[in-house]
Amino acid sequence: MNIHACKHTERSSLLSFASAVSAPPSNWTSLDCCRWKGITCNQDGWVTHLLLPSKGLKGVDLSSNHFFGAIPSSFFQQASNLTSFNVSNNTFTGEVFQLQVFRAGHNNLSGLLPEDIYNATKLEEIALPLSSLHGAISDKIVNLTNLAILDLYINQLSGKLPLNLGKLSKLKFVTLDFNNLEGALPPSLMNCTNLVELRLGSNNLEGDISMLDFSRLNQLAKLDLRVNNFTGTFPVSLYSCRSLKAIRLTGNNLVGQIQAEILSLKSLSFLSLGFNQFTNLTGAMKILMSCKSLALMLSGSFKDEGMPTDNDMVDFDGFQNLRVLCLVGNRLTGQLPVWLSKLHNLKILLLSGNEITGPIPSWLGTLPRLFYINLSENRFSGEFPKQLCRLPRLVYEPNITSQVDHISNEFELPFYFSTITRNPNYYLSSKISSYPATIDLSNNNIVGDIPIEVGQLQLLRGLVLHSNNFSGVIPDQISNLKNLEVLNLSMNHLSGIIPSSLASLTFLKEFMSHTIISKDQYQQALSSKASTLLPLRGIQNFVVRPLPNKCGRPNKGIDEDNKKNNKDMDNGLHQLPWFYISSIVLGFIVGFWGWLPSTGVKCLESSQALK
């Protein structure tokens, strides 16, 4: 047996590579690719070197591999005819050297943008995102008159944007998010009339943006200036940019009110203005309800106003295709108005961090496309409405052929979870379907039992009910929720034991419940790590402490009441010390649940503007 014989996958990859270049090596025909000219393998048959000098190859693309080390400058000196070099998604390190077209994102490239790059006058694209480049973008960039794409997001670039950046008249896509850029936007940028996307979020930019004239940017479709230090009002000149689909000005210092002229933006489908100092929410909603299709994020603005009432929204027939409504952290007062029940295309409703009162209305369970609800940190009272357990999108799979669902499954800009922050770790998907089906009613005044009908929500991935006044036992029907990943029932008045049927929830990653158990039961759980009390896998941080008299909300007599209710659970158990499960955390939260804090699910954009 030839220990040098190449792996089948290696041979297939090399043949695919050969088929993609203009002049494939003619002798790559034998079964053993380790014997091909230009190929070197190790003792295990894995290809370690590829040497094909002076072959006149065209079309080389090295992205999404496992290449590492520095890119030698000699490579580019000898590759005099190279016009495109794509090495994205590898683990290259070191400094960047001059290229004509360069895509090398998702690497560990460091250093400054090299001076030589500003002499490559035929350069059309610089794409070096998610690296460690630092320093300023030189004023010499104006030499690159053919540049159409400048993509340097998530680096450590600093300084001001070049004053004459507007000389790059062919610029279409500028993405400089998550850097340390400062100063004002150069007025010359408004001369880049071919701009389609301008994304400068999470920097330290400043200035009065209402003084900028965006009116010449007829092609502009997406504008993202979130989390900077801009001042002024909503730029009136943006109303002339008739191609605009997405505007995000979240996390700045803007003031004023939304004007009716915004309706001239007929293609607008994504509007995020949260964490500014805008006023008159009711007026804004009256205007915006005329938009044909919209994802609307107004969190952290319009502080201490009232929820727009049914009287305010009289003759309501708007928001026909409103996909997202996010009003988190506004301290809004009032009750949930009935006009919300007409939002038949609403998918995500986020109203946490307000002062909304009254019961949770039963009509909320009739919205046909709603799958993500966060009403936490309000003053809702009454019981958990059973109708909420019939939400169509949580009971059965959506019709994938539905035209509305198909058209609106993409956000025009990606959402950011939890907080408005400069941290790129909060960068998430732009697909609506990527967000986990959730009901979060935590931190309210909801009473009564958890309804057994909750077991109907087959597609639910997160049920967060902590910090309420629920009583009774944990319903065994929760074990029907086979997709459940997070279950938080802590800080309530629940009694009894945790149903053993929860062991069937194979996707459960976090379970938190404040439940009374006996010392024997606790010791059994510790010894077996999968007892009848809680037979779940991967138990970590099983914290037990003596039962307090008060927990969270005032609860007079809970210690005595629980002892009385459980006296007959088992022979002699009433004579043993009682313990309190502080938290049971199963494994580590992964994927989209990584952001889930102990206080519940926060808004997709927002809970507090952090500068």
pLDDT tier at 582 (50, 70, 90 boundaries)? very low
What is the mean predicted confidence (pLDDT) over 553-570?
Answer: 36
In the listed set 268, 297, 319, which residue is the last one of a domain according to the structure? 268
Residue 485 belongs to domain with CATH number: 3.80.10.10
Q: What is the distance between the alpha carbons of residues 281 and 322, in angstroms, rounded to a whole number? A: 16
Residue 68 phi, psi dihedral angles, 5° rounding = -145, 180
pLDDT tier at 346 (50, 70, 90 boundaries)? very high
Task: Classify residue 476: in a domain, yes or no.
Answer: yes
- The answer to whether the CB of 258 falls within 8 A of the CB of 235 is no
pLDDT tens per residue, range 414-452: 876 545 666 666 555 677 777 889 999 999 999 999 999
What are the residue ranges of helices labelled H in 551-598?
558-565
Task: Classify residue 239: in a domain, yes or no.
Answer: yes
Return the ∠ at Cα 211 (arms to 209 and 216), rounded to 5°: 90
Q: Domain range holding 249? A: 109-268
111 contact partners, CB below 8 Å, separation of at least 6: 94, 95, 96, 133, 134
- Structure tokens given for 131: 């690296």
Task: Classify residue 422: in a domain, yes or no.
Answer: no
pLDDT tier at 75 (50, 70, 90 boundaries)? low
For residue 224, what are the β-bridge partners?
Answer: 199, 248
Please provide the distance, in angstroms rounded to a whole number, between the alpha carbons at the two ends of the chain: 64
Pairing state of beta strands 68-70 and 91-95?
A: parallel
Task: Classify residue 220: in a domain, yes or no.
Answer: yes
Q: Measured between alpha carbons, how far is residue 362 from residues 188, 313, 340, 438, 475 in Å? A: 54, 20, 12, 17, 21
Look over the chain and give the mean of its residue pLDDT values, rounded to a whole number.
78
- Structure tokens given for 254: 């803007």
Least confident of 260-264, 325-329, 534-538: 534-538
Task: Classify residue 234: in a domain, yes or no.
Answer: yes
Task: Classify residue 567: in a domain, yes or no.
Answer: no
498 contact partners, CB below 8 Å, separation of at least 6: 474, 513, 515, 533, 534
Task: Classify residue 506: in a domain, yes or no.
Answer: yes
| 3 state DSSP class of 542 | strand
Q: Which residue spans within 136-193 are E strands per DSSP?
A: 149-151, 156-160, 173-175, 180-184
pLDDT the model gives residue 16: 82
* Total structural domains within the chain: 2
Which of these, 316, 280, 314, 321, lies nearest to 298 by C-alpha position?
280
pLDDT tens per residue, range 261-286: 999 999 999 999 999 999 999 999 99
In the listed set 212, 243, 268, which residue is the last one of a domain according to the structure? 268
Residue 585 has pLDDT above 60, yes or no: no
Task: Classify residue 130: in a domain, yes or no.
Answer: yes
Please tell me which of 68-72, 100-104, 283-287, 592-596 the model is most confident about, judged by mean pLDDT: 283-287
In the listed set 538, 570, 605, which residue is the last one of a domain according to the structure? 538
pLDDT tens per residue, range 226-239: 999 999 999 999 99
